[in-house]
């Protein structure tokens, strides 16, 4: 355990174990049976390597190989349950498939997204997955020029295959739940308000579709003023609601947990009028169910999305193809447990 100025290499080990570098290499990477190295030498090498605290130089190793098994993912944020789960489960599932996951967080910054993707290509990633990217097509174009596969997750693109939640169906089921609960608890069920997100965003647009669809199916008209998709931040959601003081039963469709933060802030300032409000949220958070007035949340099926996207790694698929994954609805307060699936066409 002396301080070596340079890291130990297979050459050092070769010398110590009285073997050749090629023998050492094959022993340490497991190809030694095929190279007919004796068990005796293999054990000797392994021991020396262990004793020296050897770790392969991934750079040298990957430089020589043709496949890197590195799989890159860019993610906008780690600070909410959804993306946190995606990153965490992705690493786990990729590892289970013998791949080397490299995840990097790009803060919803389009420029950073592109730089990060480029960096992943530099690291010889075999595939780059763009999660919730603002400009996935730019990334796909670059990857395709570099001969690297790219896939989109959470937000679709046109230049690579995409896996996204079935936002429309999920939103419709959530809308139905909120309307039902308002009806059950208040007897009345006017049009809900749609809070948070931005309609230029694909997912928000799909959710609004589902939201409107369910209203239409019930013959409820949604006034334009009920659509408060003013942006992705707690402040913006709170600001959008700030002028509104409910005087009767009120239902909200909250579009993301970040918007939910703004909604509960607004609720807190409402005083007793807050008892007139019921809401549901698209996206799940463990504390969501304990917030007063919350009737349910939609959880996106991260596991299913990831296994679908990982199944596409190394496969050919048409560029614009979009694969929809059903969401799960978690209802609170009524029976409280069993999630029902936001299936649908």
Partner DNA sequence: CTTTTTTGCACAATCGATTGCGCATCTTTG
Partner DNA sequence: CAAAGATGCGCAATCGATTGTGCAAAAAAG
Q: Does 292 bind its own copies (CB under 8 A)?
A: yes
Window contacting DNA (CB under 7 A); options: 16-24, 147-155, 167-175, 277-285: 16-24
Residues 55-94: x where in contact with DNA by CB under 7 A, - otherwise, as a string? -xx--xx-xxx-----------------------------
Cβ nearer to its own copies, comparing 171 with 260: 260
Query: Which runs of consecutive H residues, i.e. helices, occur in 187-293?
Result: 202-217, 234-242, 257-268
Candidate list 10, 87, 163, 179; residue touching its own copies; CB under 8 A: 87
Strand-pair category, 250-255 with 277-282: parallel
Q: How far is the CB of 29 from its own copies (least distance, A)?
A: 12
Q: Residue 195 in contact with residue 175, Cβ under 8 Å? A: no
d(CA 193, CA 240): 11
Cβ nearer to its own copies, comparing 143 with 182: 143
Candidate list 4, 35, 287, 334; residue touching DNA; CB under 7 A: 35
d(CA 89, CA 154): 14
Q: Does 40 bind DNA (CB under 7 A)?
A: yes
Q: How far is the CB of 43 from DNA (least distance, A)?
A: 10
The pair of structure tokens assigned to 237 is 């959601």
Cβ nearer to its own copies, comparing 138 with 308: 138
Cβ nearer to DNA, comparing 39 with 225: 39
d(CA 206, CA 282): 12
User: Could you tell me the CA-to-CA distances from 132 to 79, 149, 160, 164, 283 in Å, in that order?
Assistant: 14, 17, 14, 9, 14
Q: Does 143 bind DNA (CB under 7 A)?
A: no
The pair of structure tokens assigned to 119 is 């960096």
Cβ nearer to DNA, comparing 100 with 186: 100
Candidate list 31, 78, 216, 245; residue touching its own copies; CB under 8 A: 78
Cβ nearer to DNA, comparing 25 with 257: 25
Q: Residue 49 in contact with residue 29, Cβ under 8 Å? A: no
Candidate list 25, 131, 162, 257; residue touching DNA; CB under 7 A: 25
Choosing among DNA, its own copies, none, which partner's interface includes residue 286 (Cβ < 5 to 8 Å by kind)? Answer: its own copies
Q: Which long-range contacts (CB under 8 A, 24 or more apart) does 142-148 make?
A: 142/114, 142/117, 142/118, 143/117, 146/121, 148/121
**Lookup result for tokens 């990153």:** 87
d(CA 242, CA 312): 45
Interface size with DNA, residues (CB under 7 A): 30
Q: Which of 89, 262, 249 is nearest to 178 (CA)?
A: 249
d(CA 27, CA 42): 6
Contacting its own copies within 293-332 (CB under 8 A): none
Q: Does 186 bind its own copies (CB under 8 A)?
A: no
| Phi, psi (deg, nearest 5) at residue 299 | -105, 130
Q: Residue 324 in contact with residue 162, Cβ under 8 Å? A: no
Candidate list 35, 38, 268, 320; residue touching its own copies; CB under 8 A: 268
Cβ nearer to DNA, comparing 17 with 229: 17
Where do contacts with its own copies occur on this chain (CB under 8 A)?
1, 3-8, 52-63, 77-81, 84-85, 87-88, 91-92, 100-105, 107, 118-119, 121-124, 141-142, 144-148, 234, 260-261, 264-265, 267-268, 285-288, 290-292
Where do contacts with DNA occur on this chain (CB under 7 A)?
6-7, 9-11, 18-23, 25-26, 28-29, 31, 35-38, 40-41, 54, 56-57, 60-61, 63-65
């Amino acid at each position: 355990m002396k301080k070596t100025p340079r890291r130990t290499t297979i050459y050092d080990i070769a010398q110590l174990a009285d073997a050749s570098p090629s023998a050492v290499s094959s022993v340490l990477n497991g190809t030694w049976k095929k190279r007919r190295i004796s068990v005796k030498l293999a054990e000797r090498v392994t021991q020396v390597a262990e004793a020296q605290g050897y770790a392969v130089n991934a750079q040298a190793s990957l430089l020589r190989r043709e496949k890197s098994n590195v799989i890159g993912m860019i993610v906008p944020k780690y600070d909410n349950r959804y993306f946190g789960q995606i990153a965490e489960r992705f690493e786990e599932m990729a590892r289970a498939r013998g791949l080397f996951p490299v995840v990097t967080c790009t803060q919803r910054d389009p420029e950073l997204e592109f730089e990060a993707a480029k960096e992943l290509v530099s690291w010889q990633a075999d595939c780059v997955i763009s999660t919730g990217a603002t400009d996935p097509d730019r990334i796909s174009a670059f990857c395709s020029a570099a001969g690297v596969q790219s896939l989109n997750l959470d937000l679709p693109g046109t230049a690579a295959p995409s896996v996204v939640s079935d936002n429309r169906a999920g939103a419709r089921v959530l809308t139905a739940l909120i309307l039902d609960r308002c009806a059950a608890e208040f007897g009345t069920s006017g049009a809900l308000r749609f809070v948070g997100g931005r309609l230029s965003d694909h997912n928000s647009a799909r959710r609004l579709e589902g939201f409107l669809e369910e209203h239409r199916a019930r013959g409820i008209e949604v006034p334009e003023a009920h659509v408060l998709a003013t942006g992705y931040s707690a402040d913006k959601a709170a600001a959008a609601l700030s002028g509104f003081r409910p005087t009767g039963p009120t239902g909200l469709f909250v579009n993301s947990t970040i918007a939910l933060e703004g909604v509960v802030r607004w609720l807190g300032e409402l005083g007793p009028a807050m008892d007139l409000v019921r809401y549901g949220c698209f996206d799940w958070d463990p504390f969501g169910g304990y917030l007063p007035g919350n009737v349910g949340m939609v959880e996106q099926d991260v596991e299913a999305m990831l296994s679908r996207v990982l199944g596409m790694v190394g496969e050919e698929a048409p560029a614009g193809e979009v694969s929809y994954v059903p969401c799960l609805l978690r209802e609170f307060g009524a029976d409280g447990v069993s999630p029902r699936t936001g299936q649908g066409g």
